Structure 1
Amino acid sequence: MAEHRLIQGRYRLLDTIGRGGMGEVWRARDEALGRLVAVKCLKPMGQRQEPGFHRVLRERFRREARVAAALQHRGITVVHDFGEDRGILFLVMELLTGRNLSQLLDDNRRQPLPVPDVIEIAEQIAAALAYTHEQAVVHRDLKPANVVRTTDGTVKICDFGIARLGHDIGFTARLTGTGIAMGSPHYMSPEQIGGGTVDHRSDLYSLGCVLYEIATGAPPFAQGDAWAVLVGHRDTPPEPPRAVRPDLPEEYQQVVLDLLAKDPDDRPRDADELAKRLADARHPRAHRGTGPEPADLTVPAPRLPAWTRGLTAGPPAVGSRPPRRAPVDRAVAVLTDVWTGLGDPLRGEASPALGPDRPAPPGEHHALLGTLAVRLTHADALTSAGRHFEAQELLGEVLAGRERLLGPDHPDTLGCRHHLAVGLGRLGRLEECRTTAREVADARARVLGPHHPDTLATRWQHAFVSGQLGRWPEALTAYQDVAAGRAAALGPDHPDTLAARYETGVALGRLGRSAQALAQYHDLVAARARAQGPDDPETLRARHGLGVNYGRLERWPEALAEAREVAAARARVLGADHPDTLASRREVAVALGRLGRWAEALDAYREVADARARTLGAAHLDALASRGEQAQCLARLGRTAEADALHRRVAALRRERAVHRR
């Protein structure tokens, strides 16, 4: 990016503060307000990605940036602005002058910070976390490099929400030499590593790691081996910090050990409670000496989660403390950490310890597979939380590792490729999803058999995304294969078999083969009613498809009768304003119009439009479509002025929606 370039006609880039895998951080001048700011420019999203992927990514960027910009606290880096300029996403933040905690330790040759500094930093971070947690915002990547101490002594946390943006775009925030993605493993809570529920107490654990490091000079689990670090967080009680820093008051030691509890319920309840404990520790009831803590102050052995069963610690760690690093001469203006990372054998990258010409020994092979299992669990949790960009990055690493350790056709490798295909679909990268799903389905059929449940699951994904792309002949063939396979393996009336038969009917209708679709739905309605009952929502869904295809065949009296019965049943079972009920009521309006009963059709269209506006919002696409149909009905009845007014209202709402989405 050229120096002195103007971003969005306002921010003049002056010089770089940092550069790395995610992009660049610039010192810049806000030409509108005449102040210096920091501009973080994330790398171009790439020309090979599909428009759907870009659209999802931009929306996620806006959502996360708005959350970060809404945080207003002296202990949080202020986000002033964000946007996109010529394909580059950028954030504008306050320009901090000072050093992050990692740099302060480097400046001090990795010696611990003075006790008064540790106490002051702990209190300020606790106050900032108390504020952000009240806003229901969790950092998830708290580490020394993300905490800055400015020249006036103020401590500020950087990258609230911003670290996740980097992961979303497909980059990895890694700690030098570890090769572990999704945050820094030296500061990750056990529930993050295990893919469990992550809440504000995970930030408290990471804070405990940070405080431990600035108080002792090294994080609580400082082994050089990534697997040993993960195992340390999972089930190893940390060494009491006073064992290496005897001048640290024992009250503060106990606070740090409580923050590092394996079970979130054993940590301080929240950052407010932590702040109170830190304040109380400033005035201890009695001096308890300066020697190392007795053994009973160590945390008890944790209750290990189910996912840990069968895992081993892998090769022993080398050394107990990281080597000292020479101070790094960096710019005084600090925004975020330096983005660096060494080779990761699990990503297929070169490493001094493991490469393509040096296979892993058996013990290390097992340890690496265990690490991959942990990462896969984490990726599943991220997917469940809707964090699909991050999950996709992690799945890519798991796939690379499994391909190297197990081979490309191993069932576990193919399972990972299946999840990657599904993730591509969620990200809007539909063509890549279709191609990958087809390849995985063929491989699973070859390795596991054509009717294996895993094979059929990937065939379904291939069919689904083919339909999204309008490739209905391909989708139909795939759905028919799935239906036949499930009928053979599970039985003709199994819910999974019936679901495949329903989608087969959809594909037939989309291809204009309505007579075949009608026959498909007739059989499906009978099977659904037999297996689940006549009022089951899935039975009613099949009946809805039956009515739609009556209409496609111009059998409008039958279509009207079916739509009315389904609408009444859905209102009774699901509720009058349920989307499925409204879809059937719309079919009633369509059939009335095609039968020339426009006055009745107008009333039906108006009722649907009013209900959709009430439940979804006036500017929702479904509500706007219903208003448009209502306007067309008015025109059919010769009520031109009313129709034109309604069309103008719809157009205005569409413009308002478009502006809002920008």
Structure 2
Amino acid sequence: MADSRLIQGRYRLLDRIGRGGMGEVWRAKDESLGRHVAVKCLKPLYTQTGHTFARVLRERFRREARVAAALQHRGVTVVHDFGEADGVLYLVMELLQGRNLSQLLEDNRGHPLAVADVVDVAAQGAAALAYTHRQGIVHRDLKPANIMRLTDGTVKICDFGIARLGRDIGLTSRLTGTGTAMGTPHYMSPEQIGGDPVDHRSDLYSFGCVLYEIATGVPPFDLDDAWAVLVGHRDTPPEPPRSHRADLPGHVERVILDLLAKRPENRPQDALELERRLDGDGGRSRNGGTPARMRTVVSYPVAPLPLPRPRPVPEPSGTPGTPGSSGAPVASRLPSWTRGMTTGHKAAGAGLRTTPPDPSAGLSGEWIARPLTGRARQPAVPARPAPSPELLTALAGRHNAGLSLGRLGRWTEAGEVHRAVAAEREHALGPDHPDTLTSRYEVGFTLSRTDRPADALREFDHVAHVRERVLGPEHPDTLAARQEAAYVLGRLGRHPEAHQAYASVLAARTRVMGPDHPDTLRCRHNLAVNLSRLGRLEDSYTMACEVADARARVLGPAHPDTLVTRYEVAYLLGQSGRWPEALGRYEEVAGDRARALGPDHPDTLSARYEVGIGLGRLGRSMEALGLYRDLVEDRTRVQGPDHPETLRARHGLGVNLGRLGRWEEALAEARDVCAIRERVLGPDHPDTLVSRREVAVGLGWLGRWADALTAYRHVADVRERVLGAAHPDVLAGRNDEAHCLEQLGRGQEAVELYRKVAALRQRGAVGGR
């Protein structure tokens, strides 16, 4: 954005005062009112993908603006205006003169602030939080960089960019992705780490981390390994602040330790109580006495940050030890899967690995450029001109833009971005460079999500082959590519090959990462699913139950990954005919997903659909009909009337109309759904054929056997062309066709067709032995 550019004919940009991985902050002049302001906007670095990137972030940016503009308190940054100009989203804020707490600690060379300053920051911050919490807003990312101290001493909380409105969980869930915990590891609450619902008490925990750091000069868990930091937050009492700083008053230490209570109910219950405590009229610790004096080292894992899918990172060269009461390295007693995650930025200390800002996190966080993460092992590449840092930064940003598109389900656009980045990375870095392979991995992922499994398999096989040669056969990145190859083998119906691939990856993951690593459990989950596709329902059910129990233990019972496996257990119970148990499990999953993800989340709606299936199977069609009517309404509102899942819910509604004997209505619904599916999905799509068969069922029940015969025959012919003459679905369709012939008095033709079906079944049974 050029110097002195005028936005909307009003805001003249003067000089840039901050920069992040995806945006900039400018000092500007509001020429209408003659005052100086700060303008925060998307950084126009990526000329080829800037508009796409802006579209991805538009909803998040506008939400941030509306949330922030509604806040009017001396302790919260004032937002004056927001909008869009020439494709650039901007936010106009008051121009603050001062330093954030992170900068103050750096200015102080990592030494703590004066006690009077700590108490003043605590009191003013508590007042601001009390106000925002009354508005139903949870900040979710409090850290020193988001708290400013102005030159006049005023303390302001900034950047409500990832605030969650208590009344707006559905929108936030769609924007942040399935179960994604938000925040910075050094300042995250235990409930954030576990993927559990958070409220204002999570902010109080994060604020306690901030106060601990400015009071002692170090965060509560001053560790270089991010998983170890998370273990500390969830399971380990922090060392009392006065063990770092003897002159800290006892009542300030008690307040900080109470804020850092692991369970929300043991913290001050609101910021007003915190204010009273700081004024001196609070009582003893809510934890029931003197805080613990020693750090307890635990041997069981913390629930990891829930991610939409695994993002492998290079193995570090070594895991640094952590000073504790015994002096032994804590890392050696942590689970093996705690290695590899980066900590992000903390205010004090040095030597931490840092990561660039994540574009998926919206326009929040620090507006200060940070270095890209290094690679643990670099492959040997042919000599070539070194690419410029600007090019590498631009490619990294475009890569992240592709990831953001994928998180929003816009896989076709994401694929276009990743293919372009892969080509440019190959030219600049070489075909075997880890970044090039990462882009090609993402290309494969987008191909898989756009119903091109054969193309995806070729891409994953290539990436796995090169990574095995360059990084080694058991490197996490190699295993990730091999696991995705197994997944698309299953999509292609090549389940025996998929089984072998999953079993091989699982053995390697167990050796390298341990049996309870989230990626190991994800592989076991996929192996269990594939077992069911091989007809081994009992083995599949046993393994799925084991994975569900392990995920509940490691990640928590309401973690999205745990719920996925519990969903699979319910499915397997249904496949085994144990419908009362299956229905109960589906109802539990639907309720837990509604609480953890929100009532409108696609995963919650999917579980409700399966509840309807269970009700119908148990003869409770009237209840199923009511459920599907509500589900159709919710799917239409959330995803649109032509979305495949909306149409699937309408199909379920029609099926239950038929079960209730309301065949005219059922036929009308089936025909309407079939027509939309044919237009949206294509005439030969499996869902379209299911609807066409449902039309035939309705015609038969209404005695219109000639029309039913035509419909059944069409479905069987298409399936035979696509699946082969001996496929079970084709044979079932030919049986339907023979039944119609019987009803039409064409018995001899029906007998011949029945015999043909029987012979094909017999040949298939013999060939399968």
What are the ranges of 5 or more consecutive residues in structure 2 without an aligned counterpart?
166-171, 305-315, 325-347, 353-363, 381-403, 419-431, 459-484, 499-528, 538-570, 578-611, 629-647, 658-662, 673-769
TM alignment of 1:241-280, pairs within 5 A: 241-280=241-280
Q: Does 1:29 align with 2:32?
A: no
Instruction: Tell me the equivalent position of 2:742.
Output: none
- Residue 434 of structure 1 aligns with an amino acid whose one-letter code is T
1:261 is paired with a residue whose SS is coil
What are the ranges of 5 or more consecutive residues in structure 1 without an aligned counterpart?
172-179, 286-292, 326-334, 345-349, 359-381, 397-402, 422-430, 457-481, 498-524, 549-557, 568-662
Query: Relative to 1, partners in 2 of residues 1:236 and 1:527: Cα closer, same or farther, differing over 3 Å?
Result: closer
- How far is 1:33 from its partner? 1.1
2:39 is paired with a residue whose SS is strand
- Residue 206 of structure 1 aligns with an amino acid whose one-letter code is S
- How far is 1:218 from its partner? 1.5
Query: Relative to 1, partners in 2 of residues 1:148 and 1:306: Cα closer, same or farther, differing over 3 Å?
Result: closer
1:120 is paired with a residue whose SS is helix
CA RMSD of aligned residues (A): 5.7
- How far is 1:28 from its partner? 0.3
Q: Is the 8 Å Cα contact of residues 234 and 262 (structure 2) preserved in structure 1?
A: yes
TM alignment of 1:535-554, pairs within 5 A: 535=622, 536-537=624-625, 541-542=650-651
Q: Does 1:434 align with 2:450?
A: yes
Distance 2:653 2:174 in 1: 40
Instruction: Tell me the equivalent position of 1:356.
Output: 378
Query: Relative to 1, partners in 2 of residues 1:227 and 1:59: Cα closer, same or farther, differing over 3 Å?
Result: closer
1:21 is paired with a residue whose SS is coil
Distance 1:114 1:76 in 2: 23
Alpha-carbon displacement from aligned partner over 1:239-287 (angstroms, at most 9, x marks no partner): 1111121111101101101111222222111111111111126x999xx
Distance 1:445 1:186 in 2: 35
Q: Is the 8 Å Cα contact of residues 489 and 495 (structure 2) preserved in structure 1?
A: no
TM alignment of 1:429-468, pairs within 5 A: 433-434=449-450, 443-444=485-486, 447=489, 450=492
Q: Does 1:322 align with 2:349?
A: yes
- How far is 1:192 from its partner? 2.1
- How far is 1:149 from its partner? 0.8
Q: Is the 8 Å Cα contact of residues 543 and 566 (structure 1) preserved in structure 2?
A: no
Query: Relative to 1, partners in 2 of residues 1:387 and 1:279: Cα closer, same or farther, differing over 3 Å?
Result: farther
- How far is 1:12 from its partner? 0.3
Q: Does 1:221 align with 2:221?
A: yes
Query: Relative to 1, partners in 2 of residues 1:66 and 1:444: Cα closer, same or farther, differing over 3 Å?
Result: same
Distance 1:279 1:299 in 2: 29
TM alignment of 1:149-164, pairs within 5 A: 149-161=149-161
- Residue 200 of structure 1 aligns with an amino acid whose one-letter code is H
- Residue 249 of structure 2 aligns with an amino acid whose one-letter code is P
Q: Is the 8 Å Cα contact of residues 81 and 93 (structure 1) preserved in structure 2?
A: yes
Q: Is the 8 Å Cα contact of residues 444 and 450 (structure 1) preserved in structure 2?
A: no
Instruction: Tell me the equivalent position of 1:135.
Output: 135
The alignment covers a number of residue pairs equal to 419
Alpha-carbon displacement from aligned partner over 1:504-555 (angstroms, at most 9, x marks no partner): xxxxxxxxxxxxxxxxxxxxx999977645533269944876999xxxxxxx
Query: Relative to 1, partners in 2 of residues 1:336 and 1:433: Cα closer, same or farther, differing over 3 Å?
Result: closer
Query: Relative to 1, partners in 2 of residues 1:300 and 1:133: Cα closer, same or farther, differing over 3 Å?
Result: farther
Distance 2:409 2:266 in 1: 30
- How far is 1:322 from its partner? 2.4
TM-score of the two chains, using structure 1 as the length reference:
0.51
Query: Relative to 1, partners in 2 of residues 1:541 and 1:38: Cα closer, same or farther, differing over 3 Å?
Result: closer
Query: Relative to 1, partners in 2 of residues 1:10 and 1:433: Cα closer, same or farther, differing over 3 Å?
Result: farther
Instruction: Tell me the equivalent position of 2:705.
Output: none
1:280 is paired with a residue whose SS is coil
Alpha-carbon displacement from aligned partner over 1:151-207 (angstroms, at most 9, x marks no partner): 111100010126899x99999xxxxxxxx9953222122222232222211111111
TM alignment of 1:80-229, pairs within 5 A: 80-161=80-161, 182-229=182-229
Query: Relative to 1, partners in 2 of residues 1:529 and 1:324: Cα closer, same or farther, differing over 3 Å?
Result: closer
- How far is 1:213 from its partner? 1.0
TM alignment of 1:260-659, pairs within 5 A: 260-280=260-280, 296=292, 307=303, 315-317=319-321, 322-323=349-350, 337-344=366-373, 350-351=374-375, 354-356=376-378, 433-434=449-450, 443-444=485-486, 447=489, 450=492, 532=619, 534-535=621-622, 536-537=624-625, 541-542=650-651
Distance 2:135 2:84 in 1: 26
Query: Relative to 1, partners in 2 of residues 1:547 and 1:213: Cα closer, same or farther, differing over 3 Å?
Result: closer
Distance 1:95 1:128 in 2: 18
Instruction: Tell me the equivalent position of 2:73.
Output: 73
Q: Is the 8 Å Cα contact of residues 216 and 244 (structure 1) preserved in structure 2?
A: yes
Query: Relative to 1, partners in 2 of residues 1:439 and 1:242: Cα closer, same or farther, differing over 3 Å?
Result: farther
- How far is 1:130 from its partner? 0.8
Query: Relative to 1, partners in 2 of residues 1:3 and 1:496: Cα closer, same or farther, differing over 3 Å?
Result: farther
Q: Is the 8 Å Cα contact of residues 257 and 291 (structure 2) preserved in structure 1?
A: no
Distance 1:528 1:204 in 2: 44
- How far is 1:81 from its partner? 1.0
Alpha-carbon displacement from aligned partner over 1:279-299 (angstroms, at most 9, x marks no partner): 126x999xxxxxxx9774669
Q: Is the 8 Å Cα contact of residues 201 and 270 (structure 2) preserved in structure 1?
A: yes
Q: Is the 8 Å Cα contact of residues 237 and 301 (structure 1) preserved in structure 2?
A: no
Q: Is the 8 Å Cα contact of residues 236 and 296 (structure 2) preserved in structure 1?
A: no
Q: Is the 8 Å Cα contact of residues 237 and 300 (structure 1) preserved in structure 2?
A: yes
2:97 is paired with a residue whose SS is strand
Query: Relative to 1, partners in 2 of residues 1:208 and 1:448: Cα closer, same or farther, differing over 3 Å?
Result: same
Alpha-carbon displacement from aligned partner over 1:546-580 (angstroms, at most 9, x marks no partner): 999xxxxxxxxx9679559999xxxxxxxxxxxxx
Which moved further from structure 2: 219-228 or 78-87?
Answer: 219-228
Distance 1:32 1:143 in 2: 34
Instruction: Tell me the equivalent position of 2:739.
Output: none
Instruction: Tell me the equivalent position of 1:232.
Output: 232
2:279 is paired with a residue whose SS is helix
Q: Is the 8 Å Cα contact of residues 73 and 128 (structure 1) preserved in structure 2?
A: yes
TM alignment of 1:47-58, pairs within 5 A: 57-58=57-58
Query: Relative to 1, partners in 2 of residues 1:295 and 1:137: Cα closer, same or farther, differing over 3 Å?
Result: closer
Q: Is the 8 Å Cα contact of residues 251 and 284 (structure 1) preserved in structure 2?
A: no
Instruction: Tell me the equivalent position of 1:603.
Output: none
Query: Relative to 1, partners in 2 of residues 1:252 and 1:304: Cα closer, same or farther, differing over 3 Å?
Result: farther
- Residue 243 of structure 1 aligns with an amino acid whose one-letter code is S
- Residue 34 of structure 1 aligns with an amino acid whose one-letter code is G
Distance 2:223 2:652 in 1: 62
- Residue 486 of structure 2 aligns with an amino acid whose one-letter code is R
TM-score of the two chains, using structure 2 as the length reference:
0.45
Q: Is the 8 Å Cα contact of residues 547 and 563 (structure 1) preserved in structure 2?
A: no
Q: Is the 8 Å Cα contact of residues 127 and 275 (structure 2) preserved in structure 1?
A: yes
- Residue 236 of structure 1 aligns with an amino acid whose one-letter code is T
- Residue 94 of structure 1 aligns with an amino acid whose one-letter code is E
2:82 is paired with a residue whose SS is strand
Q: Is the 8 Å Cα contact of residues 616 and 656 (structure 2) preserved in structure 1?
A: no
Instruction: Tell me the equivalent position of 2:715.
Output: none
- Residue 266 of structure 2 aligns with an amino acid whose one-letter code is D
2:138 is paired with a residue whose SS is coil
Q: Is the 8 Å Cα contact of residues 68 and 79 (structure 1) preserved in structure 2?
A: yes
- How far is 1:417 from its partner? 9.9
- Residue 73 of structure 1 aligns with an amino acid whose one-letter code is H
- How far is 1:50 from its partner? 11
Alpha-carbon displacement from aligned partner over 1:207-252 (angstroms, at most 9, x marks no partner): 1111111111111122233333223223222111111211111011
Distance 1:230 1:162 in 2: 20
Alpha-carbon displacement from aligned partner over 1:111-170 (angstroms, at most 9, x marks no partner): 1111111101100000101111111111111111111111111100010126899x9999
Distance 2:126 2:449 in 1: 44
Query: Relative to 1, partners in 2 of residues 1:278 and 1:439: Cα closer, same or farther, differing over 3 Å?
Result: farther
TM alignment of 1:15-26, pairs within 5 A: 15-26=15-26
1:99 is paired with a residue whose SS is strand
Q: Is the 8 Å Cα contact of residues 487 and 494 (structure 1) preserved in structure 2?
A: no
